[in-house]
Structure 1
Amino acid sequence: MRAQASVLHLDLDAFFAAVEQRDKPSLRGKPVVVGGVSGRGVVATASYEARAYGVRSAMSTREARARCPHAAYLSGRFEAYRATSAAVMGLLRSCSPLVEPLSLDEAFVDLARADLPDLEIDTVTVFAEQLRDRVHDVTGGLTASVGVASSKFVAKVASDLEKPDGLVVVPPGTELELLRPMHVSVVPGVGPATVERLRRVGVHTIADLQQISEDELVRMLGKAHGHGLHQLAFARDDRPVEAERETKSVSVEGTYEQDLTDRKLMESLLTRQATDVARRLRKSGLSGRTVTIKVRLYDFTTLSRSTTLASPTDDEAVIGRQARRLLEDLDTSGGVRLLGVGVSGLADWVQDELFAAEDDPDPEAASEGSATPLDRAATAVPPPPDPSGGFRPGNDVVHDEHGRGWVWGAGKGVVTVRFETAETPPGPVRTFAVDDPALSRINPVVTD
């Protein structure tokens, strides 16, 4: 650990939902849920008003609607989220050259590289308070919770302690006092399975964990996990703040309205996803050796299978072939809700499959722009017209007469719009035909 509290972790509170409440005055102070809006969807973020009803990230939208039926369920506007995130990350980089984004809504900042007179507790506390105020200004009103400590682990723990809109600075030397009463699940990498293993041996808190020897943890959890857990139990974390985080994987997945039971259709979907993954790899100048598929079954059981190639690839035919082979080992007879393909073990170079067997044709994999037999089978029956006209809850729209607004709901050939923006008071609601030529979708208006 560092001798000073010089690692800052900033976490934007309920980020996606907060952006929606900022831009939609009628939703301020009310429950908002962002994510998949259908019953097959999954919650990405819930506002604190929705969390009061038990709605949480990664919960199915069906369960969220049962817990909080009066919330606004929005499909999300990633342009607005990216623009807001960019404003925050730009602010952080103006403070220190060492900023490590973890996602759109959180990042580490190395205060040892910031322009501060010293790293005394009073100094970093004042800096963090001012930073939160500046985040509020550059985002148009969003709040952030901040933790400052002598390591990344403790700083991240600290930022969760007084959410939302909180600040916790952990003086050096007090880390163990802070951690001991906490549940072991606060340690990164300790998920439900590890929690259960530890519970079986009487370990519930970090204080309990400190009583277990490293050798015993290694026997229970394996060398890497056991050693890492033992180190963090004693707040030993010397990981640096890294300005450029290496891309670990590239993946594409989809959740489906109806359970998939047709294996040929699943294979076709995996083929298409493999093409998308390959395109993204090439665009980034990357390739990868490990192909993984993710399958979520009808009962929410999530399975994954992976295989490692002899050399890196960015070829959609290769990725698709491996993905389909991995699917062969899984029992999907009960139905599948989600399918995904990913490539990891990334490198910035590609070596052709020198040892690929020519007698292993891949008739189902097609060159870009052509249809495979599976594609043709999957698209033989044209889909019915979309009764929502492509409008999704939360979309930004503009009407020739009424001006700017957002989609409250759509279906059965009509779309309902509330006409308001971040700069106006709550506005009126109007309903139109989905093919009304006066109504169109627009890119979001982002508050400076």
Structure 2
Amino acid sequence: MDRVIMHVDMDAFFASVEQRDNPSLKEKPVIVGGIGERGVVATASYEARKYGVHSAMPMYIARKKCPFGVYLPTRHERYRQVSGEIFKIFYSITPIVEPLSIDEAYLDITDVPMKPMDVALYIKKKIKDNVGLTISVGISYNKFLAKLASDWNKPDGIKIITEDMIPNILNSLPISKVYGMGKKSVQKLHNIGIFTIEDMYKLSKEFCIEYFGKFGTEIYERIRGIDNREVQIARERKSIGNETTLKKDIKDKEEMKKYLKEFAHNIGISLSKKNIAGKTVTVKIKTSSFVSHTKSKTLNGYIKSEQDIYNAACEIIDGMELQDDIRLIGLTLSNLKENKIEQLTLDDFL
């Protein structure tokens, strides 16, 4: 393998931290998230997953599926602290680390003077000994396959996918495993009888481009083991936003705008602190039946003020047709860039 990419993923991270901090919770179904009536599951331990509980599930459904589970609120500060300990171990191996989230990352270990399997075993042991948690590791020659491998034997798994295994090892996998395939794309392919990656091999490159747009070429190549993305040391922030699950469903747009104004205020503060601006405003809503909708507006120029963000958000919400009550609303500014302002000198006026 020319490149050696590792994908590391902590197992049920939030729940595992809770079980580690409170040994009486070990081997019990632990569900972490918003524990209120309208909360959502952030993480479920593997004991809870046996009952069908999973992340992003409404908490009231989780309680029906697992009424004897242990339900805990999130402790983000604690999770960040533990995450910091884990990432120090990653950086002790290589400086080429791309964090994907608080509990997940890519590592480029091409130049590490150890066999890939030895690196994986070292990291797993170090995290187990120092932090008391388990991690699943996937290794391959590109990011797509490394991430696929880390999910292969969860929890506490380890797997290497080499070039000679392609395409046979992928054939039986569901198309939802292909990075970049959203729920709508998966359903569209199901509608035409495409269910596995082997089925996707029947699709021409031209069909994929027409069907998936600009990502068509990447999807066509990925199922053939091609992914040229590099591990990015500094990941550029793509968006800044806020969202909230409402205490009660609403349908009045003026009431929604009160939340949008608060979000715009928070986003404006973040933009000012980071000295950045953006030009794409997106409003997200989730209906009482848990169907999500987003609508975006890309402006001609970059904006950073609370009022400009709020005005654009109001235009979007005014143009949305709302059939059902809304249980969640969110606002995001994306398409970001540094807000460079040149300092004028006396010479500019002479």
Q: How high is the TM-score relative to the length of structure 1?
A: 0.74
Instruction: Say whether 1:82 aligns with 2:88.
Output: no
| Residue pair 2:218, 2:227 contacting (<8 A) in 1 also | no
| Residue pair 1:93, 1:99 contacting (<8 A) in 2 also | yes
For residue 334 of structure 2, the aligned residue among 344, 357, 380 is: 344
Q: Judging changes above 3 Å, is the alpha-carbon distance between structure 1 residues 150 and 202 closer, same or farther for their aligned structure 2 residues? A: same
Partner of residue 124, structure 2: 132
For residue 268 of structure 2, the aligned residue among 262, 278, 302 is: 278
Instruction: Say whether 1:190 aligns with 2:181.
Output: yes
For residue 201 of structure 2, the aligned residue among 200, 203, 210 is: 210
| Residue pair 2:3, 2:110 contacting (<8 A) in 1 also | no
Partner of residue 30, structure 1: 28
Residue 303 of structure 1: SS of its match in structure 2? strand
Partner of residue 365, structure 1: none
CA distance in 1, matches of 2:162, 2:218: 23
For residue 257 of structure 2, the aligned residue among 267, 270, 281 is: 267
Partner of residue 432, structure 1: none
Instruction: Say whether 1:199 aligns with 2:202.
Output: no
Partner of residue 289, structure 1: 279
| Residue pair 2:253, 2:318 contacting (<8 A) in 1 also | no
Q: Which runs of 5+ in 1 are unaligned?
A: 118-122, 352-448
| Residue pair 1:98, 1:113 contacting (<8 A) in 2 also | no
Counting aligned pairs with the same residue, the percent is 37
CA distance in 2, matches of 1:263, 1:195: 32
For residue 173 of structure 1, the aligned residue among 150, 159, 164 is: 164
CA distance in 1, matches of 2:135, 2:96: 19
**Residue identity matched to 1:12:** M
For residue 235 of structure 2, the aligned residue among 245, 262, 283 is: 245
**Residue identity matched to 2:55:** S
For residue 152 of structure 1, the aligned residue among 143, 152, 170 is: 143
Q: Judging changes above 3 Å, is the alpha-carbon distance between structure 1 residues 66 and 350 closer, same or farther for their aligned structure 2 residues? A: farther
CA distance in 2, matches of 1:38, 1:189: 33
The correspondence of residues 387-426 of structure 1 with structure 2, limited to 5 A, is none
CA distance in 2, matches of 1:16, 1:230: 35
Q: Judging changes above 3 Å, is the alpha-carbon distance between structure 1 residues 230 and 62 closer, same or farther for their aligned structure 2 residues? A: same
Once the two structures are TM-superposed, the CA of residue 263 in structure 1 deviates from its matched residue by: 2.8
CA distance in 1, matches of 2:130, 2:255: 46
Per-residue CA deviations over 1:102-125 (Å, capped at 9, x if unaligned) read 0001000000133x15xxxxx211
**Residue identity matched to 1:183:** P
CA distance in 1, matches of 2:274, 2:88: 22
**Paired positions, count:** 341
**Residue identity matched to 1:61:** M
Q: Judging changes above 3 Å, is the alpha-carbon distance between structure 1 residues 220 and 172 closer, same or farther for their aligned structure 2 residues? A: closer
Once the two structures are TM-superposed, the CA of residue 333 in structure 1 deviates from its matched residue by: 6.0
**Residue identity matched to 1:96:** T
Partner of residue 297, structure 2: 307
CA distance in 1, matches of 2:183, 2:220: 18
Per-residue CA deviations over 1:311-370 (Å, capped at 9, x if unaligned) read 21210011011111211122346321111110000000168xxxxxxxxxxxxxxxxxxx
Residue 244 of structure 1: SS of its match in structure 2? coil
Q: Judging changes above 3 Å, is the alpha-carbon distance between structure 1 residues 108 and 299 closer, same or farther for their aligned structure 2 residues? A: same
Higher helix share: 2
Per-residue CA deviations over 1:255-298 (Å, capped at 9, x if unaligned) read 01211233322111110111001111211221101111111111
CA distance in 1, matches of 2:252, 2:53: 33
**Residue identity matched to 2:218:** G
Partner of residue 162, structure 1: 153
Q: Which runs of 5+ in 2 are unaligned?
A: 342-350
The correspondence of residues 94-105 of structure 1 with structure 2, limited to 5 A, is 94-105=92-103
Q: Judging changes above 3 Å, is the alpha-carbon distance between structure 1 residues 315 and 221 closer, same or farther for their aligned structure 2 residues? A: same
CA distance in 2, matches of 1:113, 1:138: 25
CA distance in 2, matches of 1:204, 1:237: 22
CA distance in 2, matches of 1:98, 1:263: 47
Once the two structures are TM-superposed, the CA of residue 5 in structure 1 deviates from its matched residue by: 5.9
Ranges of 4+ aligned residues in structure 1 off by more than 4 Å: none
CA distance in 2, matches of 1:81, 1:236: 34
Rg larger in structure: 1
Once the two structures are TM-superposed, the CA of residue 26 in structure 1 deviates from its matched residue by: 2.0
**Residue identity matched to 2:116:** V
Per-residue CA deviations over 1:148-194 (Å, capped at 9, x if unaligned) read 00110000000001000011012332232221221111101212211
CA distance in 2, matches of 1:132, 1:175: 26
Q: How high is the TM-score relative to the length of structure 2?
A: 0.94
